[in-house]
Amino acid sequence: MTTLPQTTDKKLGLVIDLDTCVGCHACVVSCKGWNTENYGAPLSDQDAYGSDPTGTFLNRVHSYEVQPETGPAQLIHFPKSCLHCEDAPCVTVCPTGASYKRQEDGIVLVNEDACIGCGLCAWACPYGAREMDAAAGVMKKCTLCVDRIYNENLPEVDRVPSCVRTCPAGARHFGDLGDENSDVSKLVAERGGMDLMPEQGTKPVNKYLPPRPKDVEPEFDILAPYLEPVAQDQKGFLGWLDKALEKI
């Protein structure tokens, strides 16, 4: 079984703003595309156009309707992928050492050549962030697009995870969460960023920014004055035209 590094030089990860995410699934599509059409190992689909399609996705978006104690109900879109935990149980449970955590940046990866598809890592992960690729017979997971962020053949602006580069709402942020002065660390401190299921003790690197409360009912009646007709009875030429048209 694989052992975890005592410390990592960096803690690269994502900060996801639940207040900004609109649930468009652009991150899901871009992740699937990048990991199937470019440098990453293909993510297979089965019966994609049939009656019972299935497939492998490294990032998914779930939507929930939440009713707060006060105010109107809110629709929360919740993106979920591997959290690259500091104390990653998927790594320590792997019998072949295929799952491992990199010391240089803290990214959790899978060596597919060593993976036997036993599924123990999926059972150990409390977040359901691992998926078995039915075609390859190995476990797949988010890599933080390690093949993008260090790829000098790409423009510097593109050296971020595909989901971050694609998000039209700017809800996804990437950086070193081990650096207190990084933009992502400052964002977490300012907005009260939180861990997903901290009671599991996995110390996830990825953080979520909570949605801001919507405690004010929308005032639809403020538009009422602007919806009134400009004039009840037309006069002059327009009045004559209205009467003429009514007779047609």
Nearest one of 17, 29, 6 to 86, comparing CA atoms: 6
pLDDT > 70? residue 217: no
Alpha-helical segments (H) within the chain: 26-37, 89-92, 120-124, 146-149, 162-166, 183-191, 224-227, 236-246
**Mind listing the pLDDT tens digit for each residue in 182-199?**
999 999 999 999 999 999
Map out the domains of the chain as residue ranges: 12-209
Looking at domain 12-209, which of 3.30.70.20, 1.10.3470.10, 3.40.50.150, 3.20.10.10 is its CATH number?
3.30.70.20
Confidence band of 96 (pLDDT split at 50, 70, 90)? very high
Confidence band of 242 (pLDDT split at 50, 70, 90)? confident
Q: What is the C-alpha to C-alpha distance for residues 24 and 29, in angstroms, rounded to an integer?
A: 10
**Mind listing the pLDDT tens digit for each residue in 17-46?**
999 999 999 999 999 999 998 766 689 999
Confidence band of 233 (pLDDT split at 50, 70, 90)? low
Assigned token pair, 213: 């409360």
Q: What percent of the chain has pLDDT over 90?
A: 77
Which of 57-61, 69-73, 100-104, 128-132 is predicted with the least confidence, judged by mean pLDDT?
69-73
Strand order in the sheet with 12-17: 172-176, 12-17, 207-209
- What are the Cα distances from residue 220, in Å, to 212, 213, 216, 223, 230? 21, 19, 12, 6, 20
Other beta carbons less than 10 A from residue 57's beta carbon: 17
Confidence band of 243 (pLDDT split at 50, 70, 90)? confident
- The predicted pLDDT at position 87 comes to 97
Other beta carbons less than 10 A from residue 71's beta carbon: 12
Q: What is the pTM of this model?
A: 0.82
- The predicted pLDDT at position 212 comes to 80
Contact at 8 Å (CB) between 81 and 172?
A: no
Which of 40-44, 54-58, 76-80 is predicted with the least confidence, judged by mean pLDDT?
40-44
Nearest one of 66, 70, 106 to 86, comparing CA atoms: 106
